[in-house]
Each structure stands twice: as structure tokens, then as C-alpha cells.
């Protein structure tokens, strides 16, 4: 039953061929409240794509849509040009779109190695192949020393890295990361930037990163998309985004506020 992880041949239709993952005019509403309204993004191969916006802007909801967890009320999603709107997460990840969670959601009573192995087993990878992948990925995310520990016992930073490792084990083309640096201090966040760059190079996949940590976003993203109240307000290079007055007004101001409140 477990389908091989072949990737659907790109259907050369109206879609732009080089886009691995697309959201087209997505709308999502919960009990009449619009969490997303007419949002479109396209992920190119080998790029790091940032998704930012204030709390409640709809970033996670968009990620849920892209990963098949949330069926949009309007619009459609494409994976390699194929319509993926009705796929569900199980099929989406088999077609090369993998994700992490804002709350990490590890398998606490399983070991770190088992967690990562499951990332491969889940999409139907053979046991032997999966086991080899585990060593490699644990190494890449500096988790080798934790191999046989229960995932539920990891400190916060390592837990987040485990989330990334598990998502990476399916060898995705696009890796969706929901706030990978949440709770990290400056040094950890720098380390994460290095890891993400290494992942992008070694696993040759695209990254979609949701983050509130602007330093991280600005330093690794090639393009950034900004959401506010469920709507797209800007998209561009880090420099363009930083210079964009609408973004400054809607977003950066609020971050400053929130930052002031926290400290």
C-alpha cells in the first residue's frame, strides 16, 4: 500500500514550470472569520522563502494549507504543477512537501533516532535506507549524542532541531518550517542559520521559513512574503521588505511593541 516516493511528473499546464509548490488565491475562513484572503505564493527550487507577519496573521494557517492539513475555502494548491488541494498531509508529504510544527510535536516516548527514522518510514522508505538516513541527519543537526534518549526529555532547542530532523528524513523538495527559532537565544539562532544553510545545500531542497526573528529571516531568505490580517501586503527581497513602508507600518511597528512588552 505504501506508495513509493516518486514525485509526480510536472504537468506542463498553465503553471509556471519552475515552481515546486504554489498557493493560488487561497482563502480560508473559520466560522466566517477570514484567516486567509486571496493569498498567492510560489516556491522556486533551491530558494529560502520567508513568511512573516504579526501574530494571528495567518502564517500557520497558510502552512496548514500548503501541507494538506487545512482544505482552503477558496483557491488551490499545486505541488510540482499537480493540483494538490484535496490531497491531505499523508499524500502531500509523499510528494515532497514536508513540514515542522510551531509546537514541534515530537513523539515523546520514542527515542530521538526513532523519531527521525519515522520521518522516513512514514513516506514508505525501506527500513535499511531509513536507518542510514538517520545517522546522516542526526549528524547534520548536531543531535547524534542524543540518539537513544527519549524525545520527550530533550531541552527546548534540541527538541526544535529534532522537529526539523524528522521532517527532513522524508527527503523533501520543499521543507516548511514553522518558527524554527522560537525561544532561541542569539547564539542558538546563529547556529540555526548555519544549519539551515547546510540543509539547503546538502539536501538540495527549498525552505519556507515562518519566523518572528527578523535577524534570522533577513539573513537567510532570498524572498520574503508578508501577511497581515490574512492578506498579502508585500513580497520581495529582504532589502525591499525592509524598505517597504506598508510592512513597516503594519508589521515592524507591532514587533517593536511586542519586543518592548516582552523585555
Partner 1 sequence: MNGFLQGVVDALALGSLYAIFALGIALIFSVLKMINFAHSELVTIGAFVLILLADVPLIIRILILVVVVVGAAVLMERVAFRPVRGAGQTTMLITSFAVSYLLQNAAILIFGPDLRSGSVWSVLNESFMLGPVRILNLNALTIVLTLVLLVALTLFLRKTSIGLQMRAAAEDFTTARLVGVKANRIIAVAFGISGLLAAIASFLLTAQTGVVTNTIGVQVVLMAFVATILGGMGSLSGAVIGAFVLGAVSVILQQLLPLELRPFRDAFLFAAVFVVLVVRPGGLIVTRASRARV
Partner 2 sequence: MRVLGFVRRSASTPIILALLVALVTIVANSAGDASLRRIVVGAVVNMIAVIGIYLFIGLTGVFSFGQLAFMAIGAYATAIFTVPVATKRALFSAMPEWLADINLPFIPGILAGALVAAVVAFLLSFPMARMQPLSAGLATLAILVAVYTVAGNWTAVTNGSKGMSAIPTNTTMPVALIAVILVIIAVWIFQQSGLGLRIRATREDAVAARAIGIKVGRERGIAFVASAFVMGLAGGLYAQLQGTLSPDAFFLNQTFLLIAMLVVGGLNSLTGAVIGTILITAFRRVLQVIEAGVDIGPLEIPGRPGLTEVGIGIALLVVLALRSSGLTRGTEVSWDSLVRFGKRLTRRGTPSAAPTAAADPESVAGLAAAERTTPETATAEAVIEPERTPGA
Ligand X SMILES: Nc1ncnc2c1ncn2[C@@H]1O[C@H](COP(=O)(O)OP(=O)(O)OP(=O)(O)O)[C@@H](O)[C@H]1O
Determine, following the binding rule CB under 6 A, whether residue 55 of this chain makes contact with ligand X: yes
Residues that bind partner 1 in the complex, under the rule CB under 8 A: 60, 64, 69-70, 101
The residues, ordered by sequence, that sit 6+ positions from 185 with a Cβ below 8 Å of its Cβ are none
Q: How far is the CB of 250 from partner 2 (least distance, A)?
A: 27
CA distance 177 to 20: 16
Rg of the chain taking only CA atoms, in angstroms: 18
Of 60, 67, 115, 206, which lies in the binding site for Mg ion, with binding defined by CB under 5 A? Answer: 60
Task: Work out what residue 16 binds among partner 1, Mg ion, partner 2, none; the CB cut-off runs from 5 to 8 Å by kind.
Answer: none
SS3 148: coil
Question: Biggest alpha carbon distance in the chain?
Answer: 53
Determine, following the binding rule CB under 6 A, whether residue 180 of this chain makes contact with ligand X: no
Determine, following the binding rule CB under 8 A, whether residue 203 of this chain makes contact with partner 2: no
Cell of 128: 535499511
Of 20, 39, 43, 57, which lies in the binding site for ligand X, with binding defined by CB under 6 A? Answer: 57
Determine, following the binding rule CB under 5 A, whether residue 232 of this chain makes contact with Mg ion: no
Nearest one of 110, 220, 107, 232 to 167, comparing CA atoms? 107
Of 98 and 189, nearer to partner 2 (C-beta) is 98
Q: How far is the CB of 178 from Mg ion (least distance, A)?
A: 6
Of 98 and 173, nearer to partner 2 (C-beta) is 98
Determine, following the binding rule CB under 8 A, whether residue 230 of this chain makes contact with partner 2: no
Determine, following the binding rule CB under 8 A, whether residue 99 of this chain makes contact with partner 2: yes
* DSSP summary character for residue 126: -
Contact string 81-110 vs ligand X (x = CB under 6 A): ---------------------x--------
Share of the chain residues as helix, strand and coil, in percent rounded to the nearest 5? 40, 25, 35
Nearest one of 156, 164, 163, 207 to 185, comparing CA atoms? 156
Interacting residues with ligand X (CB under 6 A) = 30, 35, 53, 55-61, 102
Amino acid at each position: 500500500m505504501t506508495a513509493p516516493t516518486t514525485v509526480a511528473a510536472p504537468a506542463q499546464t498553465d503553471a509556471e514550470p519552475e515552481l515546486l509548490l504554489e498557493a493560488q488565491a487561497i482563502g480560508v475562513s473559520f466560522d466566517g472569520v477570514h484567516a486567509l484572503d486571496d493569498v498567492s505564493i510560489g516556491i522556486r527550487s533551491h530558494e529560502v522563502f520567508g513568511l512573516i507577519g504579526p501574530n494571528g496573521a495567518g502564517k500557520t494557517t497558510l502552512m496548514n494549507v500548503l501541507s494538506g492539513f487545512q482544505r482552503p475555502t477558496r483557491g488551490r494548491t499545486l505541488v510540482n504543477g499537480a493540483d494538490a488541494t484535496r490531497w491531505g498531509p499523508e499524500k502531500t508529504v509523499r510528494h515532497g512537501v514536508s513540514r515542522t510544527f510551531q509546537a514541534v510535536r515530537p513523539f515523546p516516548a520514542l527515542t530521538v533516532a526513532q523519531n527521525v527514522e519515522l520521518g522516513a518510514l512514514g513516506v514508505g522508505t525501506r527500513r535499511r535506507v531509513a536507518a542510514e538516513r538517520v545517522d546522516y541527519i542526526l549528524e547534520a543537526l548536531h543531535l547524534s549524542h542524543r540518539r537513544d534518549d527519549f524525545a520527550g526529555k530533550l531541552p527546548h532547542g534540541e527538541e526544535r532541531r529534532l522537529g526539523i530532523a524528522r521532517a527532513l528524513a522524508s527527503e523533501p523538495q520543499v521543507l516548511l518550517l514553522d518558527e524554527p527559532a522560537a525561544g532561541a537565544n542569539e547564539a542558538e539562532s546563529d547556529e540555526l542559520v548555519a544549519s539551515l544553510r547546510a540543509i539547503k545545500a546538502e539536501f538540495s531542497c527549498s525552505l519556507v521559513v515562518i519566523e518572528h526573528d527578523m535577524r534570522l529571516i533577513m539573513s537567510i531568505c532570498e524572498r520574503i512574503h508578508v501577511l497581515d490580517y490574512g492578506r498579502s501586503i508585500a513580497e520581495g527581497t529582504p532589502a525591499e521588505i525592509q524598505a517597504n513602508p506598508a510592512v513597516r507600518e503594519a508589521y515592524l511597528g507591532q514587533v517593536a511593541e511586542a519586543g518592548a512588552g516582552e523585555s
